[in-house]
Amino acid sequence: MHFSFPTLAILGSMPFIVQAQLTGHVGPTTSATDKAAVKTCNVLDYGAVADNTTDVGQPIMDAFTDCASGGLVYVPEGDYLLINWVGLVNGTGVAVQLDGVLYRGSDPGSQGYMFSISDSSDIEFFSSTGKGAIQASGYLYHLQGTRIGPRILSVGGVTDWSVHDLALVDAPMFHFGIGDAYNGEVYNMAIRGGDSGGLDGIDVAGSNIWVHDVMVTNKDECVTIKTGAANILVENIYCNISGGCGMGSLGAGANVTDITYRNVYTWSSNNMYLIKSNGGSGTVSNVLLENFIGHGNAYSLDLNAYWSSMSAAEGDGVYYTNITFSNWTGTEYDGARRAPIFLSCPAEVPCTDITVEEVNIWTEVGDEQTYFCGNAYGTGVCLNEAATPTSYASTITVTSAPSGYSATKMAEDLSSGFGYTLSIPIPTLPASFYPGVTPYSAIAGSS
């Protein structure tokens, strides 16, 4: 799809403006229908067979070669074995329609991305039925005690692009990496991985990218911003037993600006949102995190500049400035053990212009919770409002539930994850990715 957006200016309670917006159109510049009218390259005409035995990788690449300068590559419904990793390079005005299911069939020692799109423009990767999927059978790696293996999907060095209406399932390692990509749109997707670290859902770097209406099940990143990201809009995200959304890990030379997350629902996950660094340098600025609902998560609102799961990077710390957390509701698992509001900024580089407003979350275990602020300046909770930042630490204990914390739940909330030693089923795309909100684009194949 192709959308144009007006500039968004969100005025908070402080006398500054959070400007986190897309800068222009996102998505392909011509439709898949128009591309198909130029030329259609059906992989069945290039040696593919929907028997889950014959390699489909080379036929997809051969079909792409013939349609790379304008056309549509078509993978019909059916089950296909993916032995040769697919690398689609130097396409212009091309779409890839995956209505079938690709099953990983390569040797367990293989690395890299199973499916990558690079150095291309005006390109679309999608399913017309909402049933297209890549099943990577990562559990076969995990049974061997390794989390190192191929990733499923990569988009890099690409402009004017989209990925939508697909499922990515059981990656041996990461599911979907986006880097050095511009004017992109990702939507109507389901990602389902094992209960383990290193199985990221979507990692985003690049500029002018809209990610919306996505459901992720795993135990690592849900939809996460990486350094080098600017003008990213993330909306209608369903972290359905996951690691939760976040930003990082950020090290030396961090550079993130103009980021908005809106309408994020997080169920039984590690975090609602985690910004993580340890040492390092650079700047994160102009971030808006609004309309978050959480239930049963270990952590909730978490900015941790001393994140112990990464080695300290060179530098006094990343400078965080102009970050707003607004309208968060729901519950966390144990608010006395893990503070639902935790803002720990670098002592040498305190955070500035931080706003916490209408964050009403309550503990499911016990009858008290704590808030922690360290070296964090702005307004709300335990933040310091002084004009000249210095190092400090403040902890507040709360013994009564805040008003307005009650929040709805989603019908598709899972009762448990999928482990990492058994095959994970391909999910159906849900009708909604945030309570009461209809996806921006109709789910492919829906009435």
Q: Are 48 and 59 in contact (CB under 8 A)?
A: yes
Neighbours of 413 (CB within 10 A): 14
* Pairing verdict, β 101-104 and 254-267: unpaired
d(CA 88, CA 62): 10
The token duo for 413 is 């909330």
Catalytic, 212? Answer: no
Distance CA 447, CA 442 (A): 9
As a whole number of angstroms, the distance between CA 376 and CA 99 comes to 49
Pairing between strand 176-192 and 151-169? parallel
Q: Say if residues 267 and 298 touch (Cβ distance below 8 Å).
A: no
Which structure tokens are listed for 127?
């399913």
CB 268 within 8 Å of CB 297 = yes
Cα–Cα distance, 135 to 37 (Å, whole number)? 30
295 catalytic residue (yes or no): yes
Q: Determine whether 79 is exposed, middle or buried from the number of CB atoms within 10 Å of its CB (0-12, 13-18, 19+).
A: middle
Sign (positive or negative) of CA dihedral 304, 310, 316, 321:
negative
Residue corresponding to tokens 């979907």: 176
Task: Catalytic residue, from 99, 295, 302, 353: name it.
Answer: 295
Q: Which of 298, 292, 301 is nearest to 328 (CA)?
A: 292
Strand segments, DSSP code E, in 170-314 are 176-192, 202-217, 221-240, 244-250, 254-267, 273-277, 282-297, 301-304
Beta bridge partners of 232: 209, 259
Give CA–CA dist 332/295, Å, rounded.
6
Q: In 3D, which of 434, 435, 433, 394 has the Cα closest to residue 214?
A: 433
Q: Which of 220, 258, 302, 353 is catalytic?
A: 220
Could you say which DSSP state residue 437 is in? B
> Contact, 269 vs 239, CB < 8 A?
yes
Q: How far apart are CA 311 and CA 280, in angstroms?
A: 10
For residues 56 and 276, what is the distance between their CA atoms, to the nearest angstrom?
40
Q: Which residues are catalytic?
A: 220, 295
